[in-house]
Amino acid sequence: WVPVVGLEIHAQISSNSKLFSGSQVQFAAPPNSLVSFFDASLPGTLPVLNRRCVEAAVMTGLALNCSINKKSLFDRKHYFYADLPAGYQITQQRVPIAVNGCLMYSLCIDNKMSQMVTKTVRIKQIQLEQDSGKSLHDDTRSQTLVDLNRAGVGLMEVVMEPDMCCGEEAAAAVRELQLILQTLGSSQAVMAEGQLRVDANVSVHHPGEPYGVRTEVKNINSIRFLAKAVDYEIQRQIEELENGGTILNETRAFDSKLGCTVPMRDKEGKQDYRFMPEPNLPPLILYDAKSLPANMNHQQVINIDWIHERLPELPSVKREKLVEQYGILPEHSFTLLNEDGLAEFFENVVKQTQMKPRKVIGWILNDLLSYLKQHSLTVKESPVSSFLLADLLNLLEKKEISSTAAKQAKLWKGEGKTPLEIVKEQKLELIQDQKELEQICQAVIDGRENEVMEIKAGNRKVLNKLIGLVQRRTQGRSNPVLVKQILEKKLSE
Amino acid sequence: QVSAALKEGHVTPTELCQRCLSLVKSTKFLNAYITVAEETALKQAEESEKRYKRGQPLGALDGIPVAVKDNFNTAGIETTCASNMLKGYISPYNATVVQKLLDQGAVLLGKTNLDEFAMGSGSTDGVFGPVRNPWSYSRQYKEKSFPKSHSEDKEPNWVITGGSSGGSAAAVSSFTCFAALGSDTGGSTRNPAAHCGVVGLKPTYGLISRHGLIPLVNSMDVPGILTRCVDDAALVLGSLAGHDPKDSTTIQDNFKPFELPSLTDVSKLSIGIPKEYHAPGLSSEILALWSKAADLFKNAGAKVVEVSLPHTRYSIVCYHVLCTAEVASNMARFDGLEYGHRSDMKESTESMYAATRREGFNDVVRGRILSGNYFLLKQNYEKYFIKAQKVRRLIADDFVKVFRSGIDVLLTPTTLSDAAPYMEFIKEDNRTRSAQDDILTQAANMAGLPAINVPTALSERGLPVGLQFIGRSFQEKQLLTVAKWFEQQVQFPTIQLEEVKGHDHGVFHHQKSASFS
C-alpha cells in the first residue's frame, strides 16, 4: 500500500488589522469587540485591501520558492453559516498570489536523531483569504453564540501537494513551515492559538495503480496530533479496503481523546460554492524592479524584489551556517533551531568560552536543554545565562573542575552566583595536588584486591571501575585522565 | 440661483428648509419620501444660517435642501431600501456621498422611495407603495389628457415616475428639494428623470464613491444625481466626485470640480446617433423628438453622424445574467443575524435564514436571487456568467470603437415612451417591464460610461420626455457642456402644480414656458 498525504494549511497573518478592514487583530479579546462595519457585513460597506497582508504573503511565497503572480484576483466563495456574516468568503480561487513552490524539510531515519534525511514537498499555491468568525453551539439552550472578532482576519492558505507518505513527514513539513513563518514574521503560527490550522488529505493505493479516494481530516490541533491523525487515517483506509470496503470521499474529524477519525456530521452532500469574481476589488498588481513605473507613489505599490532583498535568513540557511561555522552535526542544528532562542544562546556561549563549539553543543543540547525541559522552562527563562554557562565551561577547559562536577545541579540553578563562586562553595574544584591524588588512588587500590588482580591479569576494562571509585571518593573532583595515568602507573609497578 | 439668494440673504436656510418641508407634507400623496428627517434637517438649516450670517458659507451647497434615495446609508436616519428586510434599520454610518453633501452644508430633508433594493423600472415595487409622478397632477397633463374632466379627483390615472430612483426624481420635480441622489445600475436615475422632467446624471463608474450605497450590481452601480438643470448637476458632481480610499473601485486620479462654459459654437462637435437605439417599441413621438434634436445640432453646425453599436440588442440578456448573479451574492448577507429583520422561526439556523429571507424580500428580489444562484452554479458558470462577461466586453468595445472614430457624444432617447399610467404599468411583471424599459439606458452601465437625461419636451399627453447623451469615460465636463447647450435650446417648461403655486416662486428656478414641440 502506498499512502498519499497532502495538506491544506491556514496560517493567520501577523498584522495589526484585518485583511479588508481596519479593525484590530488580537487573540482572546472580549467577544465582538474587534468588529468593524465591514466585518459585520453591514450593507454598503466595501473591502479595502491591507498592504501588510499582501507583503506577508509575498514574503512567504518567496521563502517557499514560489513564483509570485504579478496579477492575482479575488473571488467570492458563497455558503451560509453563522460565522460568515456576508454569506460569502473573499478568497483567491482563480489566480492566487503565489504558485509552484517547494518546501524542504528533514526527518530522522530512526528515532535517535543520528541520521537525517531531507525531503521536498511541492507547494501548489498560496492564496490570501478571510478568516471566519467563531460560533459556539449551546445545545442546552438551543442557541448558537457568534463571535465575529476573528471574522475578516487575513489568512494565507498554503496548499501542499500530496508528496508526503505518512504522519511523520506531514508533521516535519508543517514544523518546518511553522519555523519559516515565524522567522519571516508573516505569521506567529502558534497552533494552540489557532494561528496555524492544518487539514490533511489522505488516500491509499497499490503501487502502479491510480490514486485512491481521499478523505479530508480536520480538527487537528497540534503537530503531534497531525502525525497521529494521518497515521490513523492511513491505517483505517488500508483496513477498510483490505476488508473489501470502500473509502468515501468525505470529511472526517480527528478525535484527539480517542485517537481516531470520525465522519463529520455537518457537511451534507457536496457544496456548490458558486464562485464569482469579487467586483469590489480590482486585480492585485505587484511589481518588481523592472516593471515598477517611474512615478508611482511608493505607498501604493509593492515591489517584489524589494521584499526579496529584505527577507531574513531562513531556517535552512541558518542551519547550514551553524554546521559550517561551528562544525556541529546537522541534527544538532535542527534541535538548535527548534527551540526558540537556543541557537542564539549557543552562539553566545561559544563567543565567551575557549571550549570548542563541538564540545559546547553537547552541554547545550544535553545538559542545558534537558534541565530546561525538566522544569518546563523556555530558553528565555533559563536561570543560567550564556555568560554564566560560558564561565562554567571555561572552568572545565582550564581543568579546574571535572565534567562530572560540571554537571552538578547546583551550578545549573544559577541563583545569581558565578560558577566559580559555586564551585568554591561546594568544593567542586579538581584536586590539583598530585600527591593527594596519588594517595587516594593508592587507598582505592589497597581496598580492591580482586579488581587489581583482574587488571593485572589483563582485563583492562576493570580499570574504569577503579577510576569510578576514585571519582566517587573525591566526589567528582578528580580528573579522570590523570587518575587513569596514576592508577596505571601504580598497577604496573 | 437659490445659492445666490442664500448668500445675499434674500432667503435664509431655515426659511428654505421650512418651505421645502411643508411642500413635502402637502405633496405627501406622491409618496416620494419614505422618511422625512424634519428635526435634523432644521438643525442643519440652523447651522447653515449661522455660517451665512458669519459670511462663511461652506460653498454653493450650503443650506440647500436635498433628498437621498433610501438605499444610501445615513447615520441615525432609517435606511430601508423599501424592503421589509431593513425596515427600522438605522445605520451607524453615512455613505461617503451623503457625508460629502453634509460636509458642504447641504440640508438632508429625508430618504426617498424606490423599488425594493433598487430592482425595477417603475418605483412601484417597494414595501411603502408606489411613487406617483408629480406630472400626474400637473395642469399640463390634466389639460392634455383629460380636458373635459373637472374632477378634483387625484386618483384614477396617475402615472408612474419610472425607476428605480422614482422618489428622488419626484422629489426634485415637485420642488420639495433642489437636488437628490439616486442610484443608476441599468438606468435607474435616467429613466425616472426622463419621466419626471428633470435632469438625471449617471457619472462614469469609478468617479463617485459607492461606499455606503447598498449595492445591487457592484460592477455597474453608480450614485446618480437628479436636479432641475444641468448646471446644478455639475455643481453636485463637483462636490461628490473623487477618490475614496474606502471604495477600491474609485479612480486615483485627482478630480477637479468644474464650471460649465456656456457653449455658443457647436460646430466642432461630432454627435453620434446609434441606429440600434431605434428600438422596437420606441414611440413615434419620441422618435420624432430624437430626430428633431439631431437636426437641432446639425443646423447649429455640428457634425451629426449615424453610428452603430451592434451588440446593443444583447445587453438586456447579458444584464439579466450579470445582475442576478451579483444580486444573489450581495443579498447573501441578509440572514437576520447581525441586523435587519429576523424571523421568529427558531427551529434551526437554516430554517431561520429561510423564513427571514422569505419574509424580508419581495418576489422580485427573491426571483433575482434564485436566477443568480442558478447562473453561478459550477455547471452553469461557464455557459452563463463567463459568456455574459464576454458579451459585456463586446458591448463596451462597441462604444470604444465609436468614440475612437471621432464621435464626442452620443444622442439617444432615454425611454421608449412617456410615463405609463400605473394601472397599465402593473399589468406586466417587474421583470418584463425592466427588460423593456432598460434597453436604452442599460448599455451605458455595462460600459461604465457617463450618461445624462435632459428633459426635452412634453408629449401629446402632456408628460415629460427626455433625451439622453452618452459621453466618453471621465469626460463629464464635455458631456455636461453639450447637455447644457441642448437644455438652453429646448427650454423645457416648468411643471405647473397646484401645490407648488402656493409657495413663493421668487426663489425657484423659472424657465420660459415656450416648449420645444
Mean residue pLDDT of chain B comes to 90
Contact between residue A264 and residue A252 where contact means Cβ atoms under 8 Å apart: yes
pTM of this prediction exceeds 0.95: no
Residues A348 and A420 in one domain: yes
Contact A272 B378 (CB under 8 A): yes
Q: Which one of A49, A80, A276 has the shortest CB-CB distance to B335? A: A80
Residue A295 belongs to some domain of the structure: no
Residue A300 belongs to some domain of the structure: no
Residue A307 belongs to some domain of the structure: no
User: What is the average per-residue pLDDT within A236-263?
Assistant: 90
Which strand (E) or helix (H) includes residue A277? strand A276-277
Span B340-369, pLDDT tens digits: 899 888 888 888 899 999 999 999 999 999
B329 — contact with chain A (CB < 8 Å)? yes
Q: Which domain holds residue A357?
A: 315-426
Is residue A366 scored above 90 in pLDDT?
A: no
Which residues of chain A neighbour B332 with C-beta distances below 8 Å?
A: 78, 80, 86-88
B152 — contact with chain A (CB < 8 Å)? no
User: What is the average per-residue pLDDT within B63-71?
Assistant: 95
Which residues of chain A neighbour B346 with C-beta distances below 8 Å?
A: 142
Is residue B512 scored above 80 in pLDDT?
A: no
Residues A57 and A134 in one domain: yes
Span A16-60, pLDDT tens digits: 999 999 999 988 899 999 999 999 999 999 999 999 999 999 999
Q: Searching chain B, which residue's CA lies closest to the CA of residue A139?
A: B348
Cβ within 8 Å of residue B72, ≥6 positions away? A44, B79, B95, B97, B98, B111, B181, B183, B212, B213, B214, B223
Span A222-235, pLDDT tens digits: 999 999 999 999 99
* Better-scored residue on pLDDT, B335 or B264: B335
Residues A401 and A476 in one domain: no
Band (B516; pLDDT cuts 50, 70, 90)? very low
Handedness of CA A422, A423, A424, A427 (dihedral sign): positive
Is residue A378 scored above 90 in pLDDT?
A: no
| Number of domains present in the structure of chain A | 3
Given B136, B168, B188, B239, the catalytic residue: B188
Residues A407 and A343 in one domain: yes
Distance between CA atoms of residues B392 and B386, nearest Å: 10
B450 — contact with chain A (CB < 8 Å)? no
Give the lowest-confidence range in A69-78, A92-101, B139-148, B375-384: B139-148
User: What is the average per-residue pLDDT within B176-184?
Assistant: 95
* Better-scored residue on pLDDT, B272 or B2: B272
Sheet hosting strand A116-130, strand order edge to edge: A67-68, A98-108, A116-130, A154-164, A2-12, A196-205, A215-220, A251-255, A260-263
User: What is the average per-residue pLDDT within A126-132?
Assistant: 96
| Domain locations in chain B as residue ranges | 1-141+159-265+420-425+448-502
Residue A298 belongs to some domain of the structure: no
Band (B152; pLDDT cuts 50, 70, 90)? low
Contact A44 B247 (CB under 8 A): no
Is residue B204 scored above 50 in pLDDT?
A: yes
User: What is the average per-residue pLDDT within A186-209?
Assistant: 93
Distance between CA atoms of residues B473 and B456, nearest Å: 24
Residues A347 and A457 in one domain: no
B390 — contact with chain A (CB < 8 Å)? no
* Better-scored residue on pLDDT, A375 or B103: B103
Q: What percent of chain B has pLDDT over 70?
A: 94
User: What is the average per-residue pLDDT within B310-325?
Assistant: 94
Residue A291 belongs to some domain of the structure: no
Q: Are strands B409-413 and B451-458 parallel, antiparallel or unpaired?
A: unpaired
Contact between residue B296 and residue B276 where contact means Cβ atoms under 8 Å apart: no
Q: Which three cell numbers stand for residue A54?
A: 499582501
Which residues of chain A neighbour B356 with C-beta distances below 8 Å?
A: none
Residues A394 and A376 in one domain: yes
Q: Which three cell numbers stand for residue A323?
A: 554546521
Q: Which one of B213, B325, B329 has the shortest CB-CB distance to A44? A: B213
Cell 419626471 belongs to: B196
Side chain identity at residue B202, one-letter code: K
Q: Which three cell numbers stand for residue B93?
A: 454610518
Distance between CA atoms of residues B366 and B130, nearest Å: 19
Residue A84 belongs to some domain of the structure: yes
Q: How far is A365 from chain B (nearest CA, A)?
A: 53
Number of H helices, E strands in chain B: 19, 11
A87 — contact with chain B (CB < 8 Å)? yes
Q: Residue B287 CB: number of other CB atoms within 10 A?
A: 14
A275 — contact with chain B (CB < 8 Å)? yes
Contact A272 B211 (CB under 8 A): no
Catalytic annotation present for B164: yes
User: What is the average per-residue pLDDT within B74-94?
Assistant: 95
Residue A484 belongs to some domain of the structure: yes
Number of A–B residue contacts, CB under 8 Å: 102
Residues A371 and A419 in one domain: yes
According to the model, what pLDDT value does residue A479 have? 75
Span A136-179, pLDDT tens digits: 888 888 888 899 999 999 999 999 999 999 999 999 999 999 99
According to the model, what pLDDT value does residue A111 have? 62
Contact B329 A46 (CB under 8 A): no
Give the lowest-confidence range in A102-106, A298-302, B191-195, B425-429: A298-302
Please return the burial class of A380, using the count of CB atoms within 10 Å of its CB with bins 0-12, 13-18 and 19+.
exposed
Catalytic annotation present for B121: no
Domain CATH number, residue A445: 1.10.10.410
Span A70-92, pLDDT tens digits: 999 999 999 999 899 999 999 99
Q: Are strands A284-285 and A71-72 parallel, antiparallel or unpaired?
A: antiparallel
Distance between CA atoms of residues A19 and A3, nearest Å: 36
Cβ within 8 Å of residue A265, ≥6 positions away? none
Contact B332 A80 (CB under 8 A): yes
Q: How far is A218 from chain B (nearest CA, A)?
A: 23
**At CA B182, angle to CA B181 and CA B183, rounded to 5?**
130
Is residue A272 scored above 70 in pLDDT?
A: yes
* Better-scored residue on pLDDT, A490 or B52: B52
Report ipTM (2 d.p.): 0.91
Contact A88 B329 (CB under 8 A): yes
Q: Which one of A80, A88, A275 has the shortest CB-CB distance to B353? A: A80
**Widest Cα–Cα separation across chain B:** 72
Please return the burial class of A90, using the count of CB atoms within 10 Å of its CB with bins 0-12, 13-18 and 19+.
buried
Domain B1-141+159-265+420-425+448-502 superfamily per CATH:
Amidase signature (AS) domain (3.90.1300.10)
Distance between CA atoms of residues A272 and B24, nearest Å: 49
Residues A184 and A80 in one domain: yes
Residues A204 and A258 in one domain: yes
Q: What percent of chain A has pLDDT over 90?
A: 48
Span B359-401, pLDDT tens digits: 999 999 999 999 999 999 999 999 999 999 999 999 999 999 9
According to the model, what pLDDT value does residue B147 have? 67
Residues A267 and A372 in one domain: no
Residues A422 and A453 in one domain: no
Side chain identity at residue B332, one-letter code: A
From residue A233, how far is each of A246, A255, B442 by CA, in Å? Answer: 14, 12, 56
Contact B373 A274 (CB under 8 A): yes
Band (B318; pLDDT cuts 50, 70, 90)? very high
Residue A196 belongs to some domain of the structure: yes
From residue A38, how far is each of A471, B342, B360 by CA, in Å? Answer: 73, 20, 21
Contact B248 A146 (CB under 8 A): no
Q: What is the DSSP string of B439-495?
A: GGTHHHHHHT--EEEEEEEE-TTS-EEEEEEE--TT-HHHHHHHHHHHHHHH-PPPP
